[in-house]
Amino acid sequence: MTWSRLDHEIIASFVPTKAKVLDLGCGQGDLLSGLIKTKTVKGVGIELEEINIYFCVQKGVSVYHGDLETGLGGYGDKAFEVVILSNSLQEIRNFDLVLREALRVGRRVIVSFPNLAYWQARVDLFFRGRSPVTKSLPNSWHNSPNVHFFSIKDFIEYSRKEKINVLDSVFIKDQSQISLWPNWRAQSAVFVLDKLADNEELVSSPIFFAGSGI
């Protein structure tokens, strides 16, 4: 299978074959359907929008209609090998609760999100005085589903504060991976996480230690 989106391909590279996967805010099921085909995962999605559930069912994806804001109380600790939040974390009002619950029920968590500090977004805001519209933030301010706008640097600092291990990170610009100055140059990012236990030391990828750049 050829992935049509680089972020999906990158996420798939971090998912073990035949893993038990939970996709939170799975949308129309494209990523989960691809993982089932390419990695033979045992996958299930949770999605709020009913029209998206219809598309998931068409693709043969198991999906539950649910609101992530209420938590994941129906699942036990480490019930899944991988929990995915693909371009959905920024749309969730109760950011802390949902990420904390994802880290509880998953052995590892993969998140992807648009980078607010991408240079074009900075230009729109600083020089043009308007809310940024970019490839990774395509909606105007009045119809955007996003309720949180944050940068790669913001997320790195948040992870440190919350003692979340960053196991790996990949930064994307125009369907290519980049490493130099990602907070300035990357349109979006993918992070692989797990929760730091009380008796563990912080472990982070080299790019995490090096910083996000500008």
Phi-psi region of 14 (alpha: psi -120 to 50; beta: other; left: phi over 0): alpha
210 pLDDT exceeds 50? no
Which residues span the domain enclosing 123? 6-210
* Segment 73-94 mean pLDDT: 94
Q: How confident is the model at residue 209 (pLDDT cuts 50, 70, 90)?
A: very low
Query: Token digits for 15?
Result: 């998912």
Question: For position 94, which CATH number holds?
Answer: 3.40.50.150
**1 part of a folded domain:** no
The structural domain count of the chain equals 1
Global confidence as pTM: 0.89
**14 part of a folded domain:** yes
Q: What is the DSSP string of 147-174?
A: S----HHHHHHHHHHTTEEEEEEEEEET
